[in-house]
Chains A and B, each alone.
Chain A
Amino acid sequence: MKKIKILIVDDEKDFAEALAERLELRGLEAEVRTDGEAALAFISETPPDVVILDIKMPGIDGFEVLRRIKASHPQLPVILLTGHSSIKDGIRGMELGANDYLLKPINIQELITKVEAAVAAS
């Protein structure tokens, strides 16, 4: 069975790398990028199956990265990560085309369920 390829975009490198390792131990492939520009460059070269995207980042923020992904790869599923306690950012992201959102700190099993659902729906 083909491994699901995930791109994690988060300026908190330690978080992204630890999460990537945990996903790989569960049989998924994970790449890390720590800013929006690098993430968009990666997607244009080797589109993953799903993107896990933090909203608050220096430079172009997660919402802008999401807009650009949806313009260039409309079918690519995106799951947002938010540190905001209210669901406002998550809803705004869904309106911009995100498949789902999660509040940090995350539950890895919940994340994997959402990743699999997003890939199955794409």
Chain B
Amino acid sequence: MSSVSYDEIKFMGTLTASMTHEIRNVLAIIQESCGLMADLFEMMNKTKQEPKKERLAKSLSRIQAQVTRGIKLVSDLNKLAHLPDELHRKTDLEELLTLMSDLSLRLARLKEIELCLEPFPSKPIKVKTSPFYISMAFYYTLDACLNILCPGSNIILGVWHGKNSGGWEIKPHDSKQEQKNIISEIYSTPQWTIAKRAMKIAQGRARLNDLSIVFEVPFL
């Protein structure tokens, strides 16, 4: 079992803080929408006039949308909390990349950068790895990308399948910077050093191509 350092704690802490911030927003919208409905009914009692049905319907629809959003956030947060349950286990790379993309959406949105998931291969790719450490490698690589890319850029996330191995590919795109310069900047970040360490614990490796960042885990 590897020793837990500040890097592991920061990874979990940052994503948890981001998700709970989103949950606060969901609760704030539900609170204001319920409050508005209560205000409209109170007004109806005072004035003896029917409240406008469309205003009530709009509030109800806002609440329904936020409950759906809240359930998804809590479900993703729960999956994040369960990543370290076992150090290594059979892991569906598509499912995990989707989770990491969803967990990171807000961090990217605040930097005005879009995360795009490439269509997955028809057959699910399962490898024995550490879901916690491969996710940690993803988080630190994404953090490096978000700090380097300009607003309006995008990052394409995909799963790849080779003969003896499979993994994730992260392709940052910025119309204001040359691709090779982005990759070389990522190489010199402390986040990249952490990502490489995390991928070793995940029984794989992290490498940089000219155009993308690749995480690779061998098939057993």
Contacts and interface: CB of A to CB of B under 8 A. Distances in A.
Do chains A and B stick together as partners? yes
A58 B66 contact: no
Contact of A83 (B24, B55, B66): B24
Interface residues of B, number: 26
A104 interface: yes
Interface stretch (A13-21, A45-53, A66-74, A90-98): A13-21
B109 interface: yes
Contact of A108 (B20, B35, B40): B35
B116 interface: no
Range of interface residues on A (Cβ < 8 Å): 20 to 34
A114 B21 CA distance: 23
Nearest to A107: B31
A104 B20 CA distance: 12
B28 A59 contact: no
A49 to B, nearest CB: 21
Tell me the dominant secondary structure on chain B's binding face.
Answer: helix
Nearest to B38: A22
A106 interface: yes
Contacts of A5: none
A12 B29 contact: yes
Contact of A14 (B33, B39, B109, B151): B33
A25 interface: yes
Nearest to B112: A58
A21 B109 CA distance: 27
A96 to B, nearest CB: 19
B126 interface: no
Given A14-B66, A58-B109, A58-B112, A22 B32 contact: yes
Interface of A: 12, 14-15, 18-19, 21-22, 25, 56-59, 61, 83-85, 104-106, 108
The 7 lowest CB-CB distance pairs between A and B, nearest first, are A18-B32, A105-B28, A105-B31, A83-B24, A104-B28, A83-B21, A15-B29
26 contacts: A12-B25, A12-B28, A14-B29, A14-B65, A15-B25, A15-B28, A18-B29, A18-B33, A18-B35, A18-B36, A19-B32, A21-B36, A21-B55, A25-B43, A56-B110, A58-B109, A59-B112, A61-B110, A83-B24, A83-B25, A83-B28, A84-B21, A104-B24, A105-B24, A106-B31, A108-B32
